[in-house]
């Protein structure tokens, strides 16, 4: 299957790269991550001005009508620059599910479709609430977060235990969610829970959740959330297919971030190996290091090829759970290989906070930890193979 970015997508990638090089250098990024908020409203506004918060949503929802290919094209650049702003949490995770909940047609049409296309006759209060939140996310006016994982090392919707009960005013949620990206700072909170034994999707006021905020190893803001009979608005009942599709899309986009970090590690390590001299010659001329650099490039190219192949499948409406598992497993294992080699070639300085190398490796590890690590996805593939 042939896959290349279009001229427009390459121009977008170049524009985003130039903007981040100019306005988001590593030193500034480190100061932003160390701040109380953990991300910069100024950088966020710049992303909004570039239209990056509106990419995947339909035009009548305030979006640009883009596809998953556009998301991957941008996410790869974000990974290389270690973006800490809540783009993935808000646009890809929360936004993707809100769009699916607001539009049944978009939720079932296929992974490659533009999400959020309006459907006539859906004027329920839940649909209106979802669309209102979606429009604010597309405009960058609200920050969304998805509370789904529950600390089981798998995103499998069938294992969600948070429960929803009907009340006189609607519904109430009780349960715990783990590793919610930007969960403490979001003003739009989308939550998965069980209603009458089926997975359902809810909108919850963030103030109704007890948040334990923390910073992930790669510098992103996150939180564990506790719900104790928290009032909730039902967005979609029997939502498991919708959730699975949205998570598959999110894994593809997150994998693009990791591949972007891998590419930047390869670039920086190659440059260092042929700049750093030992015994009067660049260390990269030593055969052992030359072989290590070659192995790094092979691993990167394999991971990127898998990413592009999976993206093409999604665009063609042919993405399967097995395809997603292969991608997540490949990127997790090959990414760790590239990161460890980069640190070893750099030596002691590769472990310092002052150099991007260790932080890029941490981004790869953090992506691997989200929605099932590589080993989990390999077990999924193994179980499917033996029936």
Per the CB < 8 A criterion, the answer to whether 150 and 175 are in contact is: yes
| Degrees, nearest 5: CA angle 205-220-61 | 50
In this structure, the strands spanning 144-147 and 188-195 are parallel
Q: Is the dihedral of CA 276, 278, 284, 288 positive or negative?
A: negative
SS3 225: strand
For the chain, list the domains and their CATH numbers. Answer: 7-138 (1.10.540.10), 144-238 (2.40.110.20), 242-385 (1.20.140.10)
- Residue 205 has a CB neighbour count (10 Å cut-off) of 13
**Angstrom distance (rounded) from CA 382 to CA 356:** 36
What is the residue-level pLDDT of the chain in tens, covering all 387 positions? 668 899 999 999 999 999 999 999 999 999 999 999 999 999 999 999 999 999 999 999 999 999 999 999 999 999 999 999 999 999 999 999 999 998 743 333 333 434 443 333 334 677 888 999 999 999 999 999 999 999 888 899 999 999 999 999 899 999 999 999 999 999 999 999 999 999 999 999 999 999 999 999 999 999 999 999 999 999 999 999 999 999 999 999 999 999 999 999 999 999 999 888 777 788 777 888 899 999 999 999 999 999 999 999 999 989 999 999 999 999 999 999 999 999 999 998 998 999 999 999 999 999 999 999 999 999 999 988 887
């Amino acid at each position: 299957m042939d896959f290349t970015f279009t001229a427009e997508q390459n121009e977008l990638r170049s524009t985003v790269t130039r903007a981040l090089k100019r306005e988001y250098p590593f030193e500034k990024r480190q100061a932003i991550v160390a701040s109380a908020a953990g991300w910069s409203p100024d950088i966020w506004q710049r992303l909004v001005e570039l239209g990056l918060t509106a990419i995947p949503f339909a035009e009548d929802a305030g979006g640009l009508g883009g596809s998953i290919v556009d998301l991957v094209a941008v996410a790869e650049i974000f990974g290389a620059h270690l973006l800490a702003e809540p783009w993935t949490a808000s646009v890809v995770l929360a936004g993707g599910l809100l769009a699916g909940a607001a539009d049944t047609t978009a939720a079932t049409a296929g992974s490659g479709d533009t999400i959020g296309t309006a459907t006539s006759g859906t004027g329920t209060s839940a649909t209106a609430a979802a669309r209102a939140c979606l429009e604010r996310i597309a405009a960058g006016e609200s920050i969304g977060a998805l509370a789904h994982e529950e600390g089981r090392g798998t995103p499998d919707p069938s294992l969600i235990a948070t429960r929803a009960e009907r009340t006189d005013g609607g519904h109430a949620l009780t349960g715990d969610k783990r590793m919610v990206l930007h969960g403490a700072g979001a003003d739009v909170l989308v939550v998965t829970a069980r209603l009458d034994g089926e997975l359902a999707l809810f909108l919850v006021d963030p103030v109704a959740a007890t948040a334990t905020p923390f910073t992930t190893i790669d510098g992103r803001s996150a939180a564990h959330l506790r719900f104790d009979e928290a009032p909730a608005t039902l967005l979609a009942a029997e939502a498991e297919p919708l959730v699975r599709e949205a998570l598959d899309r999110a894994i593809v986009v997150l994998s693009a971030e990791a591949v972007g970090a891998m590419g930047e590690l390869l670039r920086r390590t190659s440059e260092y190996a042929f700049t750093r001299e030992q015994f009067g010659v660049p260390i990269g001329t030593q055969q052992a290091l030359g072989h290590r650099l070659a192995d790094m490039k092979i691993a990167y190219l394999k991971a990127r090829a898998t990413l592009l192949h999976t993206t093409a499948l999604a665009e063609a409406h042919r993405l399967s759970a097995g395809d997603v598992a292969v991608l997540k497993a490949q990127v997790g294992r090959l990414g760790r290989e590239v990161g460890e080699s980069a640190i070893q070639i750099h030596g002691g300085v590769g472990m310092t906070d002052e150099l991007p190398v260790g932080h890029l490796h941490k981004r790869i590890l953090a992506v691997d930890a989200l929605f099932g690590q590589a080993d989990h996805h390999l077990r999924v593939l193994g179980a499917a193979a033996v029936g």
